[in-house]
Chains A and B, each alone.
Chain A
């Protein structure tokens, strides 16, 4: 198990280094920089002013020097300054992380708490009306883009209640706090829940056909014991994989959801930073997301080992 852990950790570090190189150079390949955008907005270019600004921001340096400067700073805990707000990058990023983390956490919770039980029910009740109804729900979840669903929810809220659940930084009541995160989390988590439901269903159906399940039933185990103790535990591996991947994929869904619900989280902030070519913000944020994703995958790998002893012993 220790060797497995060390190997995974080493792989993680190599991956992060690779990601840092890709992030840095991909960002520079995109045409235009912050200075171009600032002058484009002003509708003119003064070459001297432009050169001064590029020098001030350090983007006139060779790319390798810029990369080393960034990585060196990261290792020293210096994340640089936002080109746009001129505030420390960390000061811009940190307050937004809990907002997105709460939203992502709630969305994942929504996804797992709805998707897994409904998937199990759908599998156990295979071929019944309930199964068909649940499959229609899951299919619709996969088909509806989260931004469209979000806008639909907002429009319906205004039309039906004269209110709308957009972000409130200082909620006064429990209901307001709930509306701040729960509705957008449901909008973005609906797709994940649908996917989780389908994976759980197919995985459960496969497991329920195994010999040891028949044996458990023959031994007189109750339906609940068979379904939840014997079958579900073994059906969970693909479900965990999907939830792990979804955790990483969620950031894409959050970008649009944060925009539609006007939530000042990191996902929307990232899009704005890309629009402005605010390199310090984009690099550090994408790096942060990469770290989260790599850690999520690492955690999934560790969970595999916990759920399937063959993995930890083989490795």
Chain B
């Protein structure tokens, strides 16, 4: 209860902070921010997307109930501030989260925003409305929500089956905008209507996305920019050259590789570049339902053979992070501390010793110098997948495993994984929110659609629920560490590394904040301005 009171106090403080920062404005009004976009998103509907290719251009069109502070690099529970909500409170033994909503807010088409819009949005996300999203990739986020109730036009409550403090974190993600009730999901895919700082102008597939300033934005004096224009340039070389030539004010966020950051800095020394973790882990999915990886010794041997530092040196010039499921500290909030991590088999610093142990396990399973195990290492035909898969194959050789690369086109990758038509696969997992609930339930809970390996441990599943209900952050962290350690020991989905990527911008672009524990939540762009 004490922590609930603390949360409420922090919420009140956040409201105060928002109003005081508004008074301390320094930004200049005007100008169009020109960015390139790495690809053409399938549509403009954030709720139907599962890639930040949708978040980045369309997050400025919307508002959430609450949001992570946009000028804080680290997403933290105590940095969540109200947006369409004015305040929130946990009541009913932490089983009800009630929001008081902001009044006088209008959708971009002039209609008023009310609690009905909030109810509509989340009812649709929970699949409770007749009208449905074409795709609903984050339906599982609301598994613990029983229903949404409204009290008048400006109060809405999330009634939970059990306490789940992290619901607030999920609601603060860039993936959780409030949609208007009066616009169909189909229209939201082609012409999104929001309450946000920028209005949608046009989306020409493979060409450009244009947003313009919302003059009626409820947050007075924001946004600074007159508009944002994204030019879609899938060719990375062309895009970087165009940035260097000054055609763009900013690169696509967290998309510039470490070697390319060096290139940019050498060709455009005045450019500002920042390298940050993306909270995307590169991991191995193991088909433990069929030989040879149904043998736990072989799975453990494989985990022991990994030289994680070598991956990071080759791919990121040393700039990456080693950790478990959760992003490691200091950028990650829940990651295993180094001393605990090094006690997990395969994470110890002596790679040769690890591999000797792995060889013994392989010999126990009947393999050795004269009898190698032949495996196919499947992965998507995209460089970020393919490159580590090649390194993995090389490392597995050291423990009598001869890997053969099996590259799979994107369209066939997921059906193949779902059919269990693979032995081991090289996979990437992005986390929208640095919170264990999102990561554990999505990737490791029994029956989850994104639990590709069908790893199912009822005992650990219970621990997922225990940590999820824990309101004391300190206690919860210890539980999370214990779970993460056991997931790694079980070789549920061996994590190889957590990547880092760069973002560059011209020196006259001000107010840029690159978030360090998620690349999905920091694109409202209302505080960004051009000092030209």
Contacts and interface: CB of A to CB of B under 8 A. Distances in A.
A269 B234 CA distance: 12
Contacts of A40: 410-411, 413-415
B245 A260 contact: no
B415 A36 contact: yes
Contacts of A272: 40, 205-206, 234
B231 to A, nearest CB: 7
Interface in B192-239: 203-207, 231, 233-235, 237-238
Given A39-B414, A166-B242, A260-B238, A31 B204 contact: no
Interface string A20-61: 000000000001110011111111111001001100100000
Interface in B439-471: 449-450
A259 B450 CA distance: 33
B50 A49 contact: no
B42 to A, nearest CB: 6
Contacts of A158: 241, 244-245, 267
Contacts of B204: 264
Given A85-B190, A264-B207, A42 B137 contact: yes
Most chain A beta-carbon neighbours within 10 Å: one of B189, B207, B234, B235 = B235
A269 B206 contact: yes
A43 B450 contact: yes
B289 interface: no
Interface string B33-44: 000000010110
A244 B411 CA distance: 36
A262 interface: yes
A198 B233 CA distance: 36
Contact of B190 (A32, A53, A86, A164): A86
A277 interface: yes
A85 B136 contact: no
A42 B411 contact: no
Q: How many A residues are at the interface, by size bracket? A: 35 or more
B343 interface: no
Contacts of B137: 42-44
Contacts of B134: 38, 49, 52-53, 56
A31 B414 CA distance: 12
Given A264-B206, A272-B40, A31 B409 contact: yes
B216 to A, nearest CB: 28
Interface in A166-221: 166
B235 A260 contact: yes
B352 interface: no
B452 to A, nearest CB: 8
Nearest to B234: A259
B418 interface: yes
A70 to B, nearest CB: 20
A82 B449 CA distance: 28
A55 to B, nearest CB: 12
A277 B411 contact: yes
A279 interface: no
Contacts of A49: 132, 134-136
A44 B136 CA distance: 10
A225 interface: no
Contacts of A56: 134
Contacts of B244: 158
A101 interface: no
Chain A at the B interface: SS class:
helix
Given A45-B418, A45-B449, A264-B204, A36 B238 contact: no
B51 interface: yes
B412 interface: yes
B247 interface: yes
Contacts of A53: 134-135
A166 B242 CA distance: 8
Contact of A42 (B50, B234, B418): B50
Chain B at the A interface: SS class:
loop
A264 B206 CA distance: 7
A33 B50 CA distance: 18
B229 to A, nearest CB: 11
A250 interface: no
A276 B43 contact: no
A102 interface: no
Given A31-B409, A43-B50, A272-B40, A155 B241 contact: yes
A18 B166 CA distance: 59
Contacts of A166: 233, 238, 242, 247
A79 interface: no
B306 to A, nearest CB: 23
Contacts of A36: 411-412, 414-415
Nearest to A56: B134
A69 interface: no
B135 A39 contact: yes
B246 interface: yes
B329 interface: no
Contact of A164 (B132, B245, B409, B413): B245
Contact of A85 (B205, B231, B238): B205
A42 B133 CA distance: 13
Nearest to A269: B206
Contacts of B507: none
Interface string A70-89: 00000000000010111100
B411 A45 contact: no
A264 B415 CA distance: 31
Given A41-B50, A262-B235, A84 B205 contact: yes
A262 B449 contact: no
Interface in B165-194: 186, 189-190
Contact of A261 (B42, B206, B238, B246): B238
B35 to A, nearest CB: 14
B422 to A, nearest CB: 14
B50 A86 contact: no
Given A85-B205, A276-B42, A162 B415 contact: no
B238 A86 contact: no
A41 B134 CA distance: 13
A42 B189 CA distance: 15
A43 B414 contact: yes
A163 interface: yes
A285 to B, nearest CB: 13
A183 to B, nearest CB: 13
Interface string A263-279: 01000110010011100
Contact of B51 (A31, A41, A44): A41
Given A43-B137, A49-B134, A84 B43 contact: yes
A82 B190 CA distance: 12
Interface string B43-69: 100000111000000000000000000
A159 B266 CA distance: 11
Nearest to B408: A31
A210 to B, nearest CB: 49
A82 to B, nearest CB: 8
16 contacts: A31-B409, A37-B410, A40-B410, A46-B136, A53-B134, A82-B205, A85-B43, A164-B242, A164-B245, A259-B234, A259-B235, A261-B238, A262-B233, A262-B242, A264-B204, A272-B206
Given A45-B418, A85-B190, A158-B245, 5 more contacts: A37-B410, A46-B449, A49-B134, A261-B238, A272-B205
List of 10 A-B pairs having minimum Cβ-Cβ separation, nearest first: A32-B411, A42-B50, A44-B449, A42-B137, A40-B414, A264-B207, A164-B245, A85-B205, A158-B245, A37-B411
